[in-house]
Amino acid sequence: MSFEISNVGSRFESSASEGYTIKFPSTTKDNGSPSHDLMGDCNRVFALIDDERYIAAQQLYASIEERMKAHSSRFQSPSKNGLLRRRKNRKLVDTENEKFKSVEDFLTGRRDELENLQEKASIFKRAKETLRESDDWILSQNMFGVTTYYRHEADESLSIKMEGVLDNAPIFEQIAVLREIDLYQDWAPFCSSSVVIKQLDKLDSIGWMVIGAPQLGLSRDSIFRAIGCDNMVEDGSVIICAQGLQDRPDTEPFAEPFLATGVDNLKYPEVPTGLGSGRMTIRNFSALITFHSATCFETKLVANVNPNLPLPQYVIDFVMRKMCGVLLSKLQTAAKKASKDPVRCAHARKVRQEKEFYNSWLLPKFEAYCETMKWEMPKVNALHLTDRQLEEEFEYNEQKKNKYFRNSLYGRK
């Protein structure tokens, strides 16, 4: 995919091809509790990782490590080992040692995956703690059922916090709106361009977007990495964390260094240099979506962003608070549109295009959770078009093809 970057005058090639596999979720009924089968628990850890359940996977892995340490202490002590060999059949002891050695070898062979697990789980745990803090926040406004707070940090940067309970909103479509970075330009306030640079995993993306105020002649782009964690079985929530990339001096550290690791080899847009343009710094972004029913959920969001604008700080603070105040309302509107207009809505069409992810992975998760909670799962209209809607979709696609052909013929964008 290629696109033009506003105020840069160059073209950038996106490499958002998938380099990961999507399997049917196998842990929707797994509460992550340790079992008596140590090797079975090891396999469960990696199944939980595949299902993006990092906190549950890390907790189960921690219990495995504890059992491994207990075994090592028990069987490597000469006095205790001698006592055991007198009291037990030697063959049983050797069998036990072989079992733990097999587990140790298995885990050693997948050390890199486990290190990534520890890093991601730590990020999500810290995000949950931050989102649940209630200290030092100053009330800014209450709009569309969303309450916005702000506070100035020690480095004089501005943090924004938003909380709101959204009712009569489709939860499945809500996740689709959040995941599809390409479509942020269709609903996010003041966002004029957006694209996925690289989809690293099912819930791990590197994106780029431009936010601007044309009437003021100002625009800012941003590059960021966003990751997600399914925590529904544990507490009915989904966690999203993000951090900017290529947006600060080398002397300024990242709050979460892991999110900036291993992604230097990608091709990124250059920093805009046009009049009134530049790049904002996303120091951190965390969101917690907690489901109260199949159509009602609470969203908490905390972000620390420096727009790097040559304006008085009080003006920046005012604009940021007002802009963020409508964000959740716009998000809800986009999700409802995906449900009400499954033929033409870009998000609904994306759900059908990426059916392997949405139909074979995400939908079974929500169906299983609704079944556990005894909720009726709302029908995902994007995946259940009627015969008439299928005809409308065909006609709509033909119109888009013809329009694209005409524009290409006459050199229009």
pLDDT tens digit sequence for 169-226: 888 999 999 999 999 999 998 899 999 999 999 999 999 999 987 777 888 999 999 9
Name the amino acid, one letter, at 289. I
What average pLDDT is seen over the chain? 86
**pLDDT given at position 325:** 64
**What sections of 258-326 are H helices per DSSP?**
313-325
Mean pLDDT, rounded, for 7-20: 50
- 2-6, 24-28, 265-269, 369-373: which has the minimum mean pLDDT? 2-6
What's the token pair of residue 213?
A: 């105020």
**pLDDT given at position 6:** 38
71-80, 166-175, 220-229, range with greatest mean pLDDT: 220-229
Question: What is the chain's length?
Answer: 413
C-alpha to C-alpha distance for 200 and 228, rounded to whole angstroms: 12
Nearest 5°: CA angle at 242, between 249 and 133? 105
Give the predicted TM-score (pTM) of the model.
0.87
- 91-95, 250-254, 360-364: which has the minimum mean pLDDT? 91-95
**pLDDT given at position 26:** 96
Rg (CA), the chain: 25
pLDDT score of 348 more than 90: yes
72: phi then psi, degrees, rounded to nearest 5: -60, -45
Mean pLDDT, rounded, for 338-344: 94
260 neighbors 283 (Cβ within 8 angstroms):
no
- Give exposure, 304-328, as e/b (b: 16+ Cβ within 10 Å): bbbbebeeeeeebbebbbebbbbbb
Query: At 338, is the pLDDT very low, low, confident or very high (cuts 50, 70, 90)?
Result: very high
Nearest 5°: CA angle at 240, between 238 and 244? 180
**pLDDT given at position 3:** 40
**pLDDT given at position 5:** 39
Task: Report which of residues 78 and 137 the model is more confident about.
Answer: 137
**pLDDT given at position 24:** 96
pLDDT score of 48 more than 70: yes
